[in-house]
Amino acid sequence: MDDPVFGTAAGEGLKSVSGINIPAHVLAQLQADYIKEAGQIWNDIATRIQVDGSVKIALSDRRFAANDWAQYPAAALTAQLYLLNARTLLRMAEAIECEEKMRQRIRFAVEQWIAAANPSNFLALNPEAQRKAMETGGNSIAQGIAHLLTDLQRGHVSQTDHGAFEVGRNVATTEGSVVYENELFQLIEYKPLTAKVHARPMLFVSPCINKYYILDLRPDNSMIRWVVEQGHRLFVMSWRNPDHTGAGKTVDDYIEHGPIEAMRVVLDITGSDKLNALGFCIGGMLLTTALAVLARKGASPVSSFTLLTTLLDFSDPGVLALFVDEPSVQLREMTIGERAPGGPGLLTGSELANTFSFLRPDELVWNYVVGNYLKGETPRPFDLLYWNGDSTNLPGPLACWCMRNTYLEDKLKLPDVLTVCGEKIDLRTIDAPVYIYGSQKDHLVPWTSAYRSVALLKGERRFVLGASGHIAGVINPPRENKRSYWLGNALPEDPQQWIEQATEHPGSWWTDWGNWLHRHAGEKIPAPKTQGSGRYKPIEPAPGRYVEQKAWASRKHE
């Protein structure tokens, strides 16, 4: 007998043409549980209907927190059946017998469908939005349409009030000057905040997939300002947001004219023999690759380097691996890669932003669809979400190289397999102490994968695990005394063995890193009176022009 919920006979199991299936006994149990819970929901609502036709029922899901959902029988029934369907579909996804990566993809697709099918996303099913439309005489709907048109122009759903922020005015405000620029990046030197600075300068290699000012949102949570306050002469790379004129840039371009060039200029300006460097996320991968290229050339410009939430070993690269397989990479190579028939293209910032947002669809997409469009609300100001929406484009050849050689084929960790800037690279040739940081709840760079960098690098290594996620774990100033971090005395090969012997410490990991960095920063010398040097004179005040270029504005001119 066919079941109305699953559309197949319970005794046969659920099978597809690819051979993926749910065992018959599991499917039968799922069907039985579904029918039982659906009956309970119906009976519960029927017994709670009041004389005036309303119901009083508790809906714990925050998406249905408004009284409108709990008050009306039809709305309450719709919400509870939706939640039941969602639970059942997720149980089905988990029960499928298939290879693990396929199961993860199925689970991800099911989660996307569940998030999109939420009745609160539709005006006809959302009693809260309907009530607001009636109370405002339809003005909320008109305002929602205006928000929608604006977001269509931007290329993404707004998560904050963009008008509340301006780069250089109330975000990215640490004082400094642009002292060098080429077609890929501007180099910012920050004004010292101490009478003396360490002799060896500090260089931050920011991720080219985001704007650098995540490290300089506000004075009280700015990692850039904190480092300057510790007496370091700090330089930061601010990547240009490429338009169609930069669409053909390759990984060789980004390494040679990115971190390698930045290190050369910093050493030239300061006159130091070595510098300390930090790479965040993909900036860490670019920095490490650059150091491996220089090592093959016989150069070792760093006294130490720091990797924040960085992948070098891509054997378990997190949720982004779900988007990468051979057909998808080949498609990218044929459309935006070096050999694309129409010439190289861009992996647009809007596509990147939307991809990252849909990793958490309820919180970062549909929540704002409901608020912005159905209710006509302007999202509240939030600097982190403003930065999150300030997306960047990537040149197609660079994006394709990264997708194939890291996420798909995991070649970066293999000695002498990849050639970059004409050199066979081997991460083991980098001769410098390294501080490796991972975030405990990072869904983009699992901490266990960040830990695997320990085995790929030689010399003095220190691994630190911070609480929270990809961004919140990194941006954790000591003055707030929040969260915690873990340190271990040994560095076993297995990350689980490391965490078993690690000790948790309250507060910010910045203090531990600051103490470690102090040992590699050299003696204290008088702070420079001005930024730059006789050869590299200040071009403009920080944050500079490059960071102000919007991805959606670049797209309009293609």
**How many CA atoms are closer than 13 Å to the CA of 152, on its beta-carbon side?**
7
Return d(Cα 244, Cα 554) in angstroms, integer.
8
- Any idea of the CA torsion for 399, 400, 406, 412, to the nearest 10 degrees? -90
Q: Residue 287, exposed/middle/buried by CB under 10 A (0-12, 13-18, 19+)?
A: buried
Instruction: Tell me whether residue 451 is exposed, middle or buried, using C-beta atoms within 10 angstroms of its C-beta: 0 to 12, 13 to 18, 19 or more.
Output: buried
168: left (phi over 0), alpha (psi -120 to 50) or beta: left
Question: How far apart are alpha carbons 274 and 259 in whole angstroms?
Answer: 14
- The bridge status of strand 394-395 relative to strand 234-239 is unpaired
How is 342-405 classified by DSSP, letter by letter? T---EE-HHHHHHHHHTTSHIIIIIHHIIIIIIS-PPPPP-HHHHHHHS---EEHHHHHHHIII
Given 208, 281, 400, 421, the catalytic residue: 281
Confirm whether 421 is a catalytic residue: no
Can you name the residues that pair with 347 across neighbouring β-strands?
A: 394
Cα–Cα nearest to 154, from 433, 311, 379, 309: 379
- How many Å apart are CA 116 and CA 46, to the nearest integer? 28
Neighbours of 384 (CB within 10 A): 17
Number of C-beta neighbours around residue 506 at 10 A: 10
Nearest to 188 by CA among 205, 200, 207: 205
* Residue 550 CB coordination number (10 Å): 17
Residues with Cβ within 8 Å of residue 114, at least 6 apart in sequence: 85, 86, 89, 90
Secondary structure (H, E, C), 429-493 = HCCCCEEEEEECCCCCCCHHHHHCHHHHCCCCEEEEEECCCCCCCCCCCHHHCCCEEEECCCCCC
In DSSP terms, 2 is beta-bridged to 9
Ranges of H-type helices in 97-205: 100-116, 127-135, 139-154
Contact 337, 400 (CB under 8 A): yes
* Rg (the chain; Cα; Å): 26
User: Nearest to residue 384, comparing CAs of 93, 110, 172?
Assistant: 172
Q: Tell me how long the chain is.
A: 558
CB 159 within 8 A of CB 391: no
Catalytic positions are 281
